[in-house]
Structure 1
Amino acid sequence: MKHITIVAPNCQTNLGTVACIAGAYEIFSRAGEYFKESGNKELYKIEIAGVASNTALAGGLFSVNIHTPVADIKRTNLVIIPSLNANFEKGGKGNTEIIDWIVNQYKNGAEIATMCSGAFMLASTGLLDGRSCSTHWNYANLFRTLYPDVNLQPDELITDENGIYTNGGAYSFLNLALYLVEKYYDRKTAIFCSKVFQIEMDRQSQSPFIIFRGQKQHNDEMVKEAQAYIESQLTEKISIETLSSKFSVGRRNFDRRFIKATGNTPIEYMQRVKVESAKRAFETTRKSINEIMYEVGYSDLKAFREVFRKFTGVSPLVYRSKYNKDAAGI
């Protein structure tokens, strides 16, 4: 029989950690039961593993009685890392034994899956360097700062590369669980779990949920001033040449510094600022799509739709109908 390990971190846990551990265990357990009920042999033994026999979670509000210490698991097929709280660097230092075990398991052929901010723990091992990764959109800027060698994809709900799976934020771990059930069992079992637990199948993006606040956790003052200027000129079309000359920097150097500081090109940053403003207007007003489009500096409806869909995954009309019931019929 093969083996799936759900990790119970030793420290830096929160309520999200509890949800990830309990949710993953319940979904995989039910998947195994259904797979066996369908006439198949039992495939996986599912265990929660940690360092202490009784592991306190979420500041002691909850605790979990682990099935086995990680040191006693010599070989597993899949390791699932739950989310952590926001003090990620301490989380890595406090979970050294678990981290070392995870690295050894991966070297021995195990696959690794991280849920939400659990990606920070895995990134601290170096296993994500040069690879694609997702995490909660709210932690994207910090993640880029701490782990610049990782190819962060914050719009993606799930990444799957070289036996490493990561996913976006919060309760989207449920979507990763379904994805893994399909991988480790089959599509039929995943559909069954989708129906039993009422989780939408095949979600691929967390873009509709992202709140863009601007990437300002950097020390380039010129870029910060450029960001502030862009945000103050929502209705205007600003050329990059005009912007770079305003700050007495050559276009190529301006682009380079802006990308290094924010992770976006200046054009992408302008688009994201405008789309975020449009999203707020769709959520809180009864203005028409055309009115909002003009307010954020677009005059071409097709271009506005394309940019809006690029950053949200849906059209302006669908977004408004989803988040503003009062305006849905306009």
Structure 2
Amino acid sequence: MTDQSRIAIVRYRGALTSAVHGIEEMLSFAGGLERYRSLRVTITDTVVPGYDAYILPPAGQEVDVSAQPDIPKFLKQEHTRGALVCSVCVGLVWLAEAGVIGNRPVTTHWGLEALMAERYPDAATDVDQILIEHSDLATAGGMMAWVDLSMALIERFVGRDAMIETSRRFVVDVGRMDQRRYRSFTPDLSHQDAAIRKAQLAIESGYASRLSVDDLAQQAGLAERTFIRRFTSATGMTPMTYVQAIRIEKAKDQLIHSTKQIQQIAFDTGYADHSAFGRKFHQATGMTPKDFRRKFSA
């Protein structure tokens, strides 16, 4: 570590002001600790050469990369020079445009998963994770994941003791869990396959009952193999994965908005086996149903 470490927060057009200044304050606090004093933080409006790390913060709207074409260009140059490049939430788009991701795992807000898959299919986007770090690249998930990125950068550039001291000062958790608990599933009915939409509506109304691929294929009026192929093409999910997603979403809603026993919720959402429901729920959210209710219910 050296007293020359310099981090630039790139305040592009539309960048979230609260995040920009929150990152600056947190990093500046750590860098200003008397026994460290090894970090200097600057807010810039574009990519200024010569920094050790660049942070592309979140935005409150979709990023228009064409409005500031210099940012991905200079990000690429600085990354090639050896700088660490970082993003939070939709800030990942700048890194993707700069061509610094390749096919490596990265993360962003779960709501941007489809956009990343469409525009940057080579990137291994994993929206379940809050933070993914590489030696030259660090990406953080949701809009508030700037806290997690800041903690990681403090540990990297200043040290673990400074990171812990900063977390105590700002009263934030260190090493938070993944983003699965915050994700929601909204069925996509915008495709043009009427037979598959019919099956989707059958799942929506009948998720609490026993559903098989054969049942759904009959609802769609298709042979089973044809149904599976067309369903997966239209929704991006296999039929039974889709059924599980609907059931988990309905269970989450009941956990938040009802006082039903968890075993009853399991039964009402299509799970005859309470233990199986618990396993599926944890797999989808990273939490037990009990913990999910405790965290999110009113």
8 Å contact kept, 2:58–2:90: yes
Match of 1:6 among 3, 9, 33: 9
Aligned runs of 1:250-329 on 2, under 5 Å? Answer: 254-255=227-228, 257-324=230-297
Match of 1:45 among 40, 44, 49: 40
| Secondary structure of the structure 1 residue equivalent to 2:139 | strand
Structure 1's 118 and 316: CA in aligned 2 closer, same or farther, altered over 3 A?
A: same
- Bigger CA drift: 279-288 or 178-187? 178-187
Deviation at 1:129, TM superposition (A): 3.9
Aligned runs of 1:164-179 on 2, under 5 Å? Answer: 164-179=137-152
Deviation at 1:148, TM superposition (A): 2.6
Q: What is the aligned partner in structure 1 of residue 87 from structure 2?
A: 114
Deviation at 1:252, TM superposition (A): 5.6
Deviation at 1:8, TM superposition (A): 1.0
* Equivalent position amino acid for 1:25 in 2: E
Q: What is the aligned partner in structure 1 of residue 170 from structure 2?
A: 197
Q: What is the aligned partner in structure 2 of residue 229 from structure 1?
A: 202
| Secondary structure of the structure 1 residue equivalent to 2:177 | coil
Structure 1 spans left out of the alignment, 5+ residues:
52-69, 326-330
- Bigger CA drift: 162-171 or 196-205? 162-171
Structure 1's 8 and 131: CA in aligned 2 closer, same or farther, altered over 3 A?
A: same
Q: What is the aligned partner in structure 2 of residue 58 from structure 1?
A: none
Structure 1's 218 and 126: CA in aligned 2 closer, same or farther, altered over 3 A?
A: farther
Match of 1:150 among 116, 119, 123: 123
* Equivalent position amino acid for 1:44 in 2: L
Q: What is the aligned partner in structure 2 of residue 21 from structure 1?
A: 20
8 Å contact kept, 1:308–1:316: yes
8 Å contact kept, 1:159–1:165: yes
Deviation at 1:307, TM superposition (A): 0.6
Aligned runs of 1:49-128 on 2, under 5 Å? Answer: 49-51=44-46, 70=47, 73-88=48-63, 91-128=64-101
What do the CA deviations read for 1:21-68 (whole angstroms, capped 9, x no partner)?
A: 10111111011112xx22x4x4333211124xxxxxxxxxxxxxxxxx
What do the CA deviations read for 1:96-138 (whole angstroms, capped 9, x no partner)?
A: 1111111111111112111111112222233334222222222
Structure 1's 317 and 127: CA in aligned 2 closer, same or farther, altered over 3 A?
A: same
* Equivalent position amino acid for 1:2 in 2: S
TM-score, with structure 2 as normaliser: 0.89
Structure 1 Cα separation of the partners of residues 43 and 139 of structure 2:
19
Deviation at 1:324, TM superposition (A): 2.6
* Equivalent position amino acid for 2:19 in 1: C
Structure 1 Cα separation of the partners of residues 234 and 102 of structure 2:
19
8 Å contact kept, 1:20–1:115: no
What do the CA deviations read for 1:183-229 (whole angstroms, capped 9, x no partner)?
A: 22222111111111111111131111222223456555554444333
TM-score, with structure 1 as normaliser: 0.81
* Equivalent position amino acid for 2:41 in 1: I
Structure 1's 259 and 286: CA in aligned 2 closer, same or farther, altered over 3 A?
A: same
Structure 1's 226 and 186: CA in aligned 2 closer, same or farther, altered over 3 A?
A: farther
8 Å contact kept, 1:2–1:77: yes
Structure 2 spans left out of the alignment, 5+ residues:
none
8 Å contact kept, 2:76–2:99: no
* Identity value in percent: 27
Aligned length, in residue pairs? 295
Deviation at 1:304, TM superposition (A): 0.4
Structure 1 Cα separation of the partners of residues 51 and 237 of structure 2:
39
